[in-house]
Structures are given as structure tokens and as C-alpha cells.
């Protein structure tokens, strides 16, 4: 069946509207519980983590009710980064992991992500089966088989100890002053504590969540806040995480932001030099800059491109046996350490390079010259199909001809929001702006 509930990263939407309602969370929990209890045995458990959104309480309770109604035992770990749920699912020998988060979206939104017993996000096929169960009658457990719920108080601490194992033994962060912006999200305690334990002088930002300020003028989507803190405190580095801490932006000592492409270039080249880069390739999406591809080729490495979405990056990494991948937006996936993007673990890799090399952040964040790239997001009315509009098709076709041989054009729907993303790269900066502006304006008039 074609999926309706699940997008590119679980189920997501505005809290208290379909599909992010208590009723739907109850059904999803029951369906997921039934999916993982098809053999009828009793020894099944699920880990549930969340970020700091107000609606997380509602969805956590509803998911717990649905899961226990089908006989699943629920382990509640509270606010913890998304990669922490992947880790804890494996560590606690659970059959299922659930993260309640809408990542970088505003607090009004929320989402539900499912992880399998291996700590990786569920496949499209598994999600489709769960969705089919939601639409049908879900077989509930007998009264004596109803599951239990238990709060795990040290889940965050377990994740913190684990993530520190990604930092090289024998290295410390003594003498480094680090700003860490936690976006008032899931890592608001974990990230500052880990950095301090490794020896850094920590300037915490975005660590006072109140349920409605997650990602609000802070975090990886608003790095200006971290940049100001870096300058004010004379820090050596800024780390900006998003609401569920599965992505990161690095800021140098001047407050300048390096995107995920520069970060991945650094890791790929250093790992290759150390003989750690499996398959001689980095996995990234179609959004990554052409400059990254040229940088890797010059070092005898490959760039394996996928569709947009960290799940597709992970799928290609697993199928090809690669261990490093990510997105320009700051999802850095290192399967030697984590099953999904881990902003804190990635930041520790960058800090390790600073400690080892003695170089400034500004030296490490500039690995290659980018090809001019421009991205515009065009919001459209729910239910509209602006990409099917004849005017839009015509302007896209004409733009492709204009840019041919000088760059590339990529237009796609967002998998998490009602947005059309218009991205182009072109060695002619003026032409680049003209093309993107024209397509965006036409889309806006059609949507």
C-alpha cells in the first residue's frame, strides 16, 4: 500500500491536529506493538524518548497506552537525543524504539519516529505494515498480558557515557572554550555535561526549555545566537544542535558557520588518511555541493549521492558497507558509533581534530571552494499540486536549458512540511539568482 501517515522521517505534523493527535498516537502505538508482538510471546519491550516539546507529554502517554494495550512493556527515558533512543534500543535489548520529536521544526509541530531492535529506523516496508494495521482492527492483548510501563532514570546518563566512547582515548579538551547551543531541546543537559567531562570550558546556550521555546531563535537553524556567544566569550568553537540533536552546525572562532558539506569533507579526508574510511567513499544527498564532489575526487575518493533524507543516506551506507555519510543540513552519520545522525558525536569528532592538529576551527572548516548554490523554500497550500501547474513546468524546463553545462537544478517537495525546495548550483552567480527567483515566484503564484 502507499504510505499516507509516514513521511521521510516518521509521522509528523502540527500537534493536536491529524495525524499528531492523542488518538492517532494511541493507534500507532497499538499497531507498532502488534507488529512487534506477532509471535504472541510476552518478553517484548519498547524504549520511548522525547525532546522538550509541550505536546511530548500527550503523545508519550498515548503511545504508552497503545503499546501496553498490545502487551508491550514500555521503558520511558524522558528527554534524550534521537541517537540516544537508537543506542538505548539496542543496549536494553528492546524490540522497538520510539522518539517523539519534530527535530528542527517549531514547538507547535511534533513527530513520531520508530527504530527497530538494531537501533536503525524502520524500513519503508515495516512502516507500511504498521500503517495498514492502523487502518484496520488491532488485536489487543488479553487482560493478563497487558504491558507495564517503567521510567528509566539513567537513560540520558547511559547515552552520555556511550557517546564519549566516540572521542579518542587519551585526548582531552583542556584549554578549549566551547559554546554549545542545545536549541532548548533534547540535548540541553547531555551536550554541556559531556563537553565539560572531556575537559572543555563550556558556554551553554539554549539550555532552558519551557515546552514552547525549542528551536526558537537558537540551535542549528538559527546559528546567529551561537555566533554571538562565540564572539562575546572569545570562544574557540561553536556547536549548534537542533531540537533532537541529530544534526549539528559548527561555527569557527569568528562566528562563521560551516555547513555539513565542509564538515563531511574534513572527516572523509582525515578518515581516509587514517585508513578508517570504508569503501573509499562518502555518502551524501543530491543537495551536497558540487565542490564537495570535486574535493573528494582530487583525493581519490567517491561521493555516493542519495535522495534527500538521512534515512536514505543510512540505507545506502548499510547496503554499500560505508561508514560515513550525511547531509548538508548537518546530519552526520557515523555508523561506527551510531545508527542515525548524532550531532554531539559528530561535534566530538571535530573537536578531536582540533585537539590533535592544533589548528583553529576556521582552518578546519574550510576544506574546499564551493560552487555558488542557492536554495529557496516555497510554501504551498495543503492539497495543492504546484509542480503539476503548466506554468511551473514551463519555467523549470526553460531554466534547465539556461543552466545546462554551468551547473545543476534540483526541485523537490519537502518530506516533512508543505514546502517546495528550489535549489540550483551555477558557476555564474547572477544566472543562479535569476533562475531560482523565477522558479520560486512561479511556484508561489501556483500554490
- Phi/psi at 12 (5° precision): -145, 150
Among the listed residues 69, 103, 269, 288, the single catalytic one is: 103
DSSP secondary structure of 362-407: HHHS--SPPPPEEEEEEE--TT--GGG-HHHHHHHHHHHHHHTTTE
Q: What is the CA radius of gyration of the chain?
A: 22
Cβ-contact 101, 54 below 8 angstroms: no
319 given a catalytic annotation: no
Q: What is the DSSP letter of 280?
A: G
User: Is 235:180 a contact under the CB 8 Å cutoff?
Assistant: no
* Residues present in the chain in total: 447
Among 331, 164, 181, 193, CA closest to 241: 181
What is the C-alpha separation between 85 and 152, in angstroms, rounded? Answer: 12
| Closest CA relative to residue 378, chosen from 325, 318, 444 | 444
- Please provide the distance, in angstroms rounded to a whole number, between the alpha carbons at the two ends of the chain: 28
Beta strands (DSSP E) in 90-194 are: 96-100, 109-115, 149-151, 177-181
Residue 78, all three cell numbers: 524522558
Of the CA atoms within 13 Å of residue 326, those in its CB half-sphere come to: 30
Q: Which residues contact 170 (CB under 8 A, 6 or more apart)?
A: none
User: Do the Cβ atoms of 29 and 138 come closer than 8 Å?
Assistant: no
C-alpha cell at 4: 499516507
The number of angstroms, rounded, from the C-alpha of 192 to the middle of its chain's C-alpha atoms is 19
Please list the active-site residues: 103
Amino acid at each position: 500500500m502507499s504510505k499516507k501517515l509516514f513521511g521521510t522521517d516518521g509521522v509528523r505534523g502540527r500537534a493536536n491536529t491529524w495525524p499528531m493527535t492523542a488518538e492517532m498516537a494511541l493507534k500507532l502505538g497499538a499497531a507498532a506493538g502488534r507488529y512487534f508482538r506477532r509471535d504472541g510471546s510476552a518478553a517484548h519491550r519498547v524504549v520511548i524518548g522525547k525532546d522538550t516539546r509541550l505536546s511530548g507529554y500527550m503523545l508519550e502517554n498515548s503511545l504508552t497506552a497503545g503499546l501496553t494495550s498490545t502487551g508491550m512493556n514500555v521503558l520511558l527515558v524522558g528527554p534524550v537525543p534521537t541517537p540516544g533512543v537508537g543506542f538505548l534500543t539496542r543496549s536494553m535489548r528492546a524490540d522497538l524504539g520510539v522518539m517523539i520529536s519534530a527535530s528542527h521544526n517549531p514547538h507547535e509541530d511534533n513527530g513520531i519516529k520508530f527504530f527497530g531492535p538494531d537501533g536503525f529506523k524502520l524500513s519503508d516496508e515495516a512502516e507500511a505494515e504498521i500503517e495498514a494495521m492502523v487502518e484496520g482492527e488491532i488485536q489487543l492483548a488479553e487482560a493478563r498480558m497487558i504491558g507495564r510501563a517503567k521510567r528509566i532514570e539513567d537513560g540520558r546518563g547511559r547515552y552520555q557515557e556511550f557517546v564519549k566512547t566516540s572521542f579518542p582515548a587519551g585526548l582531552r579538551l583542556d584549554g578549549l572554550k566551547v559554546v554549545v547551543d542545545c536549541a532548548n531541546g533534547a540535548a540541553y543537559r547531555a551536550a554541556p555535561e559531556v563537553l565539560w567531562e572531556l575537559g572543555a570550558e563550556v558556554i551553554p546556550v539554549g539550555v532552558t526549555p519551557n515546552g514552547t521555546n525549542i528551536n526558537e531563535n537558537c540551535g542549528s537553524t538559527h546559528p546567529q545566537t551561537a555566533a554571538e556567544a562565540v564572539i562575546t566569550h572569545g570562544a574557540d568553537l561553536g556547536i549548534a544542535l537542533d531540537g533532537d540533536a541529530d544534526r549539528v552546525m559548527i561555527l569557527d572562532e569568528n562566528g562563521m558557520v560551516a555547513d555539513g558539506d565542509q564538515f563531511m569533507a574534513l572527516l572523509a579526508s582525515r578518515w581516509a588518511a587514517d585508513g578508517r574510511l570504508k569503501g573509499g567513499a562518502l555518502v551524501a544527498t543530491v543537495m551536497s555541493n558540487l565542490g564537495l564532489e570535486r574535493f573528494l575526487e582530487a583525493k581519490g575518493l567517491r561521493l555516493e549521492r542519495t535522495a534527500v533524507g538521512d534515512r536514505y543516506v543510512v540505507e545506502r551506507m548499510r547496503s554499500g558497507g560505508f561508514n560515513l555519510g550525511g547531509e548538508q543540513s548537518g546530519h552526520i552519520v557515523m555508523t561506527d558509533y551510531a545508527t542515525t545522525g548524532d550531532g554531539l558525536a559528530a561535534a566530538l569528532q571535530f573537536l578531536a581534530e582540533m585537539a590533535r592538529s592544533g589548528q583553529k576551527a576556521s582552518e578546519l572548516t574550510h576544506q574546499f571552494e564551493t560552487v555558488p548554490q542557492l536554495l529557496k523554500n516555497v510554501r504551498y497550500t495543503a492539497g495543492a499540486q504546484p509542480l503539476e501547474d503548466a506554468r511551473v513546468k514551463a519555467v523549470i524546463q526553460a531554466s534547465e536549458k539556461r543552466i545546462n553545462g554551468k551547473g545543476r537544478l534540483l526541485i523537490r517537495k519537502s518530506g516533512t512540511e508543505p514546502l517546495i525546495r528550489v535549489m540550483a548550483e551555477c558557476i555564474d552567480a547572477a544566472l543562479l539568482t535569476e533562475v531560482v527567483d523565477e522558479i520560486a515566484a512561479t511556484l508561489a503564484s501556483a500554490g
